Amino acid sequence: MTISKLSASEQEATTDAVLAASLKSQQEKGPSLRQIHPKSHGLVWGEFIVENNIPDAVKVGVFAVPQTYPIWVRFSNAGEAEKRGKFVSDKEPNARGLAIKLMNVQGEKVLDDEDETQDFTLINHPVFFVRDVQGYIDIAKVASGQADPDLVKAMQPSFAILQETGSKKVVNPLFIQYWSTTPYNLGSQAIKFSVKPQQEAVSDSISYSDDYLREATVKYLTDEGKDAFFDFLVQLYVDEEKTSIENPMQEWKEEDSPFIKVATIKIPSQKFDFDERKRLDEGMSFNPWHTLPEHEPIGSVNLARKKIYQELAKYRREQIQKRLREPQPFYFIKDEPH
Ligand code: HEM
């Protein structure tokens, strides 16, 4: 496996630059909201059922023995909020996020802010839009019109991926497939993972409001009383050419590394569209580094996420605490439902 083009000091300096920019944006737009993925279509509970008959090679970490973990699952839009209480409409182009938190996971964890969780984060496209954390800085530079023509040209593939990701038609977050895009360890091997719905997409009677993705999820899980099921799949690393570790803009093709089903996600019919659940959602922290060492995230993009997610979630939770400790007038917090 080749290593990142960035040296360790470049990786660190670039991560700090992204963190500083993200923190500034979070402070300005909504200190107690996630800087990206702020808009939730629902925080729902369910079960993560590790299958009985999986190949020995993937019986590692949370997949080591067949068992059922309780989970929280959060569906989101990636785009930043304009401000607190004002989210981008679901009708606008956007990447859709899926975050899963397994609980009752025994064993030492990489971070120490949660003891018994294992998180998985995914988006609805097989590739990520930048190669490494430097790309995250570069694309922002181009978007703000501050880049020289060479950089503008170099970043075209990133904009193409963003456009492709954002333009997918989504009728319900329960009907689409999600991918990790970046690689993770599975013991001594490397994998990517994906979450694929079992239910067929139906688009009858959808009215495309600004919040139609939450409405569609409520309709399915609450009003119609249906359960949702997903397959949790992994793909094994083959070699750097076919299954690149350091370039998450490159897809791991199924013909090079077929998906192996390791678990079933069950989301039972439930009520979840109420204020107290939204508060829990707002304060929860999903972080790919909430993990057993066996599933440690790898590659430049994932490495950067360690400090960024931890620091931003810490700040976000402090702001939520502050809001509770010292009540603020409504006109100040603009605490609209979302
Ligand atoms: C350098 C690259 C990345 C940066 C800087 C970044 C940044 C962030 C930040 C700041 C948050 C909010 C964290 C919080 O306040 O708790 C977030 C959430 C999220 N990110 Fe990333 N991210 C990156 C890459 C990725 C990748 C590769 C994926 C998966 C394909 C991903 C999926 C998600 C999801 C699903 C959430 C929402 C989690 C939730 O529901 O709470 N991100 N990201």
And the tokens for 124? 């609805």
| 247 lies in some domain | yes
| 3 lies in some domain | no
Nearest CA to ligand 1 atom 3: 305
Any idea which residue has 């989101």 for tokens?
Answer: 76
Atom of ligand 1 nearest to the CA of 178: 30
Mutate-to-test residue for ligand 1 from 132, 282, 309, highest number of ligand atoms within 8 A of CB:
309
- d(C-alpha 237, C-alpha 254), whole Å: 11
Residue 260 near residue 57, CB atoms below 8 Å: no
| 1 lies in some domain | no
Residue 194 near residue 180, CB atoms below 8 Å: yes
Sign for the pseudo-dihedral over CA of 73, 75, 78, 82: negative
Q: What is the pTM of this model?
A: 0.96
| 30 lies in some domain | yes
On the 0-12 / 13-18 / 19+ scale of CB atoms within 10 A, 150 is exposed
User: How far does the centroid of ligand 1 lie from the alpha carbon of residue 302, in Å?
Assistant: 10
User: What are the angstrom distances between the C-alpha of 147 and each of 141, 184, 198, 252?
Assistant: 6, 32, 44, 31
| 185 lies in some domain | yes
Confidence at residue 1, expressed as pLDDT on a 0 to 100 scale: 46
Atom of ligand 1 nearest to the CA of 98: 35
Atom of ligand 1 nearest to the CA of 308: 10
| 254 lies in some domain | yes
- d(C-alpha 142, C-alpha 154), whole Å: 10
Task: Answer yes or no: is the C-beta of 136 below 6 A from any ligand 1 atom.
Answer: yes
- d(C-alpha 23, C-alpha 37), whole Å: 14
Mutate-to-test residue for ligand 1 from 12, 19, 37, 158, highest number of ligand atoms within 8 A of CB:
37
| 2 lies in some domain | no
Task: Answer yes or no: is the C-beta of 19 below 6 A from any ligand 1 atom.
Answer: no
| 257 lies in some domain | yes
Mutate-to-test residue for ligand 1 from 114, 308, 316, 317, highest number of ligand atoms within 8 A of CB:
308
Over the chain (338 residues), the average pLDDT of each successive run of 10 is 76 97 94 95 98 96 98 97 87 97 98 97 98 95 93 96 95 97 98 96 81 96 97 97 96 98 98 95 97 97 97 96 84 63
**Which residue from 234, 145, 223 is spatially nearest to 196, judged by alpha carbons?**
234
Confidence at residue 335, expressed as pLDDT on a 0 to 100 scale: 61
- d(C-alpha 301, C-alpha 279), whole Å: 29
Task: Answer yes or no: is the C-beta of 97 below 6 A from any ligand 1 atom.
Answer: yes
- Give the range of the structural domain holding residue 215, as residue numbers without chain letter: 8-333
Sequence-ordered alpha helix ranges (H) in 275-328? 275-283, 300-325
As for how many domains the chain has, the answer is: 1
Q: Looking at residue 255, which CATH number applies to its domain?
A: 2.40.180.10
User: How far does the centroid of ligand 1 lie from the alpha carbon of residue 109, in Å?
Assistant: 19
Q: How many residues does the chain have?
A: 338
Task: Answer yes or no: is the C-beta of 230 below 6 A from any ligand 1 atom.
Answer: no
Any idea which residue has 């083959």 for tokens?
Answer: 238
Mutate-to-test residue for ligand 1 from 117, 286, 314, highest number of ligand atoms within 8 A of CB:
286
User: How far does the centroid of ligand 1 lie from the alpha carbon of residue 205, in Å?
Assistant: 32
Nearest CA to ligand 1 atom 36: 37
And the tokens for 300? 């430049």
Nearest CA to ligand 1 atom 12: 34
